[in-house]
Structure 1
Amino acid sequence: MTTQTTAPETPGTPAAPAPAGLIGIPPHIGRALAVGGGVLTIISTFMSWTWTSAFPGDLTVYGYPGGLQVLVLIGGLLTTLFALAGYGIKGLRYVVPSGGDAALKFAALAAFATAWYTVIAISVELGGVVNLDPGGYLVAIATLTAFVGALALPFDQPEPDPIDPDDDSWEKFKNRSSHKWETVKAAFSSRPPRPVGKLPTYVEILVIAVVMALGLLVFTYGIGTQYDELFVGFLITAGFGFAALNKSGLVAQATEITSRHQTITVWGAFIAAALFPFTQTDDQYATIGVYILIFATVALGLNIVVGLAGLLDLGYVAFLGVGAYAAALVSGSPSSPFGVHFPFWAAVLVGAVASLVFGVLIGAPTLRLRGDYLAIVTLGFGEIFRITANNLDGTSGPSLTNGSNGISSIPNLTILGFDLGAPHTIAGFTIGRFANYFLLMLLITAVVVLVFRRSGDSRIGRAWVAIREDETAALAMGINGFRVKLIAFAVGASLAGLAGTVQAHVTYTVTPEQYQFAGPIPPNSAFLLAAVVLGGMGTIGGPLIGASLLYLIPNKLQFLGDYQLFAFGVALILLMRFRPEGLVANRRRQLEFHEEAEAPTVLSKTGA
């Protein structure tokens, strides 16, 4: 709760004015508007917004929110809750540990943006505002009222840093931005959350379970959006809603609790992910899920190379291709010139070892380079692999990969008599082909996470971080830089090959076009690198979340056509502008990008 205070009066000195918001409405009226607007927003979601079911989601039903109304309802609930917390109601102060009103502003913005997007979409698609029912008009007015009320609330103006008269950078700082921009930034800022006392162990475990269940619910809802308007609304609500929870301090408190129980958190995350196939009625969205896991696993392997060792690899997708081709050649495919059919465990070893060998062969002569030179060489390796696989067609070169036709008709995997290509019934749930591969890929992801955690906490992991931070200083301390970097390259390549063995059987066909530097649909080297950077370099959860978003969003934004990559690029630019350390960043990178942050007593090694 933001309190209004005034400076103590002294004789002959007028009292300092009470803090105000971005607009001239008194704060107590603004809070009342926020509460009233939030309540009316909730009520409006139970009303009809349009008279016809032609608009997706059927928003014509009274008493039952559906489609985009559910998202606006969530925004209205958050707005009302955060607004009431500002009154100091007993019990609600735990909802906003940060004590400010920044969370209320973002919650009101989430409801306002989603509601007005829906109203505008109805008007455009159905031919005018005449197609709105009373609920549509009410939600537009209610969300606007709540947002205006939130902007009227006071905010904490950050104190400027002391001015060093000998430092001319102060003049540069004054010219960098206008006073208005600083005011807007302060309006959406919040104080650090209050320290959280250690709760009983069973309570903290319950909190972790709730967080994992909420994550599964959000992911399942996002991946299962059935029409374009709903997915756009989901992005708006999820983006501003997460910002509201972050500004409230709840995210920081949940992070503190999970950091005290890392093992339980990791196990909880994998259990929640394993429940995903059981929430689906068919393989329609399990298909996207298994590709996300493949993409995420490869991104986590790249995180060893880029995030821990600091080696910029622009051709990493080639190692995924090496593993996929190696597994396809021994899979029993009629297109394979070898004519052999290895069991699953042998195919996995072949794919991982083949990628490891290629990683060593490519890394040995090139890892003595640094920076941009190394990036150019790895980019060339990725293109050489794709061109070579395209030329091994029996005409331009030996008959090995069938050229552009690739290796097709790859049979499904069979593990201990369990055919992953056939549906199976488990506890009354029918698990289809892609759900089977999803569970298999989840197991492989668990192995990759284990390797990442163990290697990151080991002596070699600390050497990788030392090389990343300052290679010259690391060499001066006795670290064998070439050997350490080669190990990172080999481990990352083998993990990519491990994922490639499953990808070959999931896609049925392996072709050179699947392994390019850039393309509209991942996995490719550009998207893999973006997943690591945007998710959080050097962390475990960062690449997993980044890869999920980078695969899901382009897949769902295909209705934008030629504007798809433009919209996606704008979103990435905004993310890097306001959170350059990534979605899940370790403490060290937060200090690098936010110099005003207070230095921690102990820096995290991997930021897991």
Structure 2
Amino acid sequence: MSRSPGTPALEQPIVITAFPSSAFDIRKSIRLGLIAGLILVLISAMGLVESFDDRMLIDPILSLGYVLLFLVPLLVGHIAGRLPPLLEGMPAPEHRPRDVLGGLVSGTVASILLALLVIATPVFDLRTLFINLSPTLVGLLTLNQGLASGLLLLVAIGATLGTIGSALHLLPDKWRSALVKSVTWVLGIALLQDLVLQLLRGLGLSFASRLIFTVTGGLSIPATVLIFGILLGAQLSIKTKGESLATRFARLPDSRKRRTLYAAGVLLLVVIVVLPQIVGPYISEVLDLVGLFLLMGFGLNIVVGLAGLLDLGYVAFFAVGAYTMAVLVSPSSPGFAPQLTFWLALPFVVGTAALAGILVGLPVLRMRGDYLAIVTLGFGEIARLLAQSDWLKPFLGGAQGILRIPNIPVGPIELHTPPQLFYPIAAFVALAAYTSWRLQDSRIGRAWMAMREDEDVAEAMGINIVTTKLLAFVIGAILAGFSGAIFAMKIGSVFPHSFNLIFSLTVLVIIIVGGLGSLRGVALGALVIVGLPELLREFNEFRFLFYGIILVVMMRLKPEGLLPRARRAREITEEERAQDVGMPVTATAADPGGT
């Protein structure tokens, strides 16, 4: 049909991209399998599999080395079985049985790469480059079978685990969640055997340890089956009843809610009182260390999580608190030794830490982002070097530090053992948590969050940026000073080399992993980053490796943290998530059944 020159041309038809409704994508599955295979090769060549094989989890069939080895194809199979992201206006795809093919392919490819490593090790003499590729490792990877049969079995196990990981998507959410949590709890109990044994002894249930764990270490098979069954049943019942309990609590009158919360608080207080007596000295020592880092974490959470001031020299405030306490209470303090008690010296610690916060905050008032981080990093190093210098040696002892710091007195009792020190640490942690909680939704807390989002807009809205920044530094410094003061009393001495950059980085990792701005997240982060490695000291040589892995995984999969605040979680939009997973913007029409 002809048209007149003045008639506008018809617009070209808009092609709407159709995304496959199936999770199975052969190219995606192969790509994931190659990545998983490289991970398996890496952890094997680094010696993790062989080192972890010494730790038996389920005696005699499953060691920690094999768990690490088998977990990779299971996870990659689960990832391969995920449905593509749902776009607005598109029909919601559903999981189908054929989707398990993605996990099968990924697990098979990953295991084949690991099998190729076993074959290539003697052929190319790879042990000259990777000393951990030992005959023991080859025996582990071939499951102590012959080379051909062992590698076939390895590939079959990898394919099976990948299929299982993908098949989990076919289960109802309730069952999938219950299964995953139950397996995780069983492996956690086996991994933390020493902690469980100490708890059983503290509760007077030593006889149960002989029924649960074997003499050589690890859960017995009957105990594993029993514990898994109990946990699975509990998870299913909690999953069905938990919502009704939460709904019932939400419908309670305010007076009933307050009474319920008070009862929960009293129960928590009772647990705190009896916990050190149950867990014993070693676990109490771990809890003390977690408490000190948690106290610092609450302070840095105010500075970084709420105010958005990236401080890499936070250890300086910790050192100020420790040295102030040491100078005021130790009879060996050079130059000035008033020999105060802990409680009399504490106000001076607060004042000195607050002054340090002001001195650090004033020069960086107009700095942001990377510049602020570098300058605060410099302040942290300056504090350590000053404590070590000859200039302040007449006051701080130089490299020799300050010794003979007395214990914390409480009436006629002196607190010096880990179970005894647990109580003042818990009290200061509770004080810091309450202070942080009250500040979050206060006027100054909202000012901090506004400044974190956009400093220029916050200043234009009438927020005093100078006062707001200084207050964040001061409160954060005081909480770190508390931690440093208790640390000095706990150790009985202070030395400059105790306050290095690792302290600042560890606290920063705690709040990042837990969730910036979240008090619950900081507590969980302290347990994961500080407590768990202390309970697993046999793997201490891999600690910083796991720190790096955790940070990379967290930033990739859960950048808001393990337990973020709801407001923080909402900041990560669906558009950002779509960009993270690399979702295509344009494509040709695809078969609804997938490829």
Q: The TM-score by the shorter chain falls in which range? A: 0.5 to 0.7
Verify: 1:148 aligned to 2:163, yes or no: yes
1:468 aligns with 2:452: yes
Deviations 1:444-487 (A, max 9, x none): 00000111011112111111111111111111111111111111
- Once residues 258 and 290 of structure 1 are traced to their aligned partners in structure 2, the CA distance between those partners, rounded to angstroms, is 37
Deviation at 1:497, TM superposition (A): 0.6
Q: Of residues 418, 435, 439 in structure 2, which corresponds to 1:455?
A: 439
Q: For residue 303 of structure 1, what is the amino acid of its counterpart?
A: N
Partner of 2:412: 417
* Partner amino acid, structure 1, of 2:415: L
Distance 1:285-1:592 versus aligned 2 partners, 3 A rule: same
Tell me: higher relative CO, structure 1 or 2? Use CA pairs within 8 A at least 6 residues apart: 2
Deviation at 1:566, TM superposition (A): 2.7
Match of 2:585 in 1: none
1:401 equivalent in structure 2: 396
Post-superposition offset of 1:490: 0.7
SS in 2 for 1:419: strand
1:389–1:587: structure 2 CA closer, same or farther, 3 Å change rule?
same
1:484-523 aligned at under 5 Å gives the runs 484-518=468-502
| Residue identity in the other structure for 1:224 | L
Contact 1:22 1:151 (C-alpha < 8 Å) held by counterparts: no
Q: Which residue of 2 aligns with 1:224?
A: 195
Residue number in structure 2 paired with 1:434: 418
Cα 1:539/1:142, change in 2 over 3 Å: same
Task: Give the direction of change, closer, same or farther, for the CA distance of 1:253–1:357 in structure 2 (3 Å limit).
Answer: farther
Alignment equivalent of 1:481, drawn from 457, 460, 465: 465
- Report what 1:343 is aligned to: 341
> Map of 1:534-573 to 2, 5 A cutoff?
534-555=513-534, 559=538, 563-573=542-552
Q: Match of 2:91?
A: none
Identity among equivalent positions (%) equals 30
Partner of 1:50: none
2:505: which partner in 1? 526
Residues 1:489 and 1:270: Cα distance change in structure 2 (over 3 Å):
farther
With over 3 angstroms needed to count, the CA separation of the structure-2 counterparts of 1:420 and 1:467, relative to structure 1, is same
Give 1 or 2: higher helix fraction.
2
Query: How far apart are the structure 2 equivalents of 1:228 and 1:321?
Result: 44
Which whole-Å deviations, capped at 9, do the CAs of 1:277-335 have from their partners, x for residues lacking one?
23323x12221210111011101111111111111111111101101110111113324
Corresponding residue number in structure 2 for 1:280: 279
Map Cα deviations across residues 175-198 of structure 1 (whole Å, 9 max, x no partner). xxxxxxxxxxxxx9979x9xxxxx
CA contact (8 A) 2:56 2:217 kept: no
Give the CA deviation at 1:536: 0.7
1:595 maps onto 2:574 in alignment? yes
Secondary structure of the residue aligned to 2:395 is coil
Could you tell me how far apart the structure 2 residues matched to 1:255 and 1:448 are?
Answer: 30
Structure 1 match to 2:315: 317
Show the 5 A alignment for 1:365-404. 365-391=363-389, 395-404=390-399
Matched letter for residue 195 of structure 2: G
Amino acid corresponding to residue 307 of structure 1 in structure 2: G
Deviation at 1:347, TM superposition (A): 2.0
SS of corresponding position for 1:461: helix
The one-letter amino acid paired with 1:363 is G
Q: How far is the alpha carbon of 1:556 from its aligned partner? A: 5.4
Larger radius of gyration: 2
Amino acid corresponding to residue 372 of structure 1 in structure 2: D
Q: Report the CA distance shift for 1:511/1:153 in structure 2 as closer, same or farther (over 3 A).
A: closer
Alignment-mate amino acid for residue 458 of structure 1: S
- CA–CA distance in structure 1, aligned partners of residues 307 and 397 of structure 2: 36
What number of residue pairs does the alignment pair up?
427
Tell me how large the CA RMSD over aligned residues is. Answer: 5.3
Query: Match for residue 427 of structure 2?
Result: 443
Question: What does residue 37 of structure 2 align with?
Answer: none
Give unmatched runs, 5+ long, in structure 2: 1-19, 27-52, 72-93, 112-134, 146-152, 177-184, 198-214, 220-226, 251-256, 578-595
1:448 and 1:219 mapped to 2: Cα distance? 34
Tell me which amino acid in the other structure corresponds to 2:498. Q
Residues 255/19 of structure 1: CA separation in 2 closer, same or farther (3 Å cut):
farther
| Alpha carbons 1:224, 1:285 under 8 Å: kept | yes
User: Which structure 1 segments of 5+ residues have no match?
Assistant: 1-17, 25-53, 76-98, 117-122, 133-137, 156-187, 194-213, 232-236, 422-432, 519-523, 599-608
Aligned mates of 1:591, 1:58 — CA distance in 2: 39
Deviation at 1:276, TM superposition (A): 3.2
Tell me the distance in 2 between the aligned counterparts of 1:539 and 1:255: 24
Q: Distance in 2 between matches of 1:555 and 1:451?
A: 28
Which amino acid is the alignment partner of residue 529 of structure 1? Answer: L
Query: How far apart are the structure 2 equivalents of 1:316 and 1:354?
Result: 15
1:362 deviates by 2.2
Please report the TM-score for the alignment, with normalisation by the length of structure 1.
Answer: 0.58
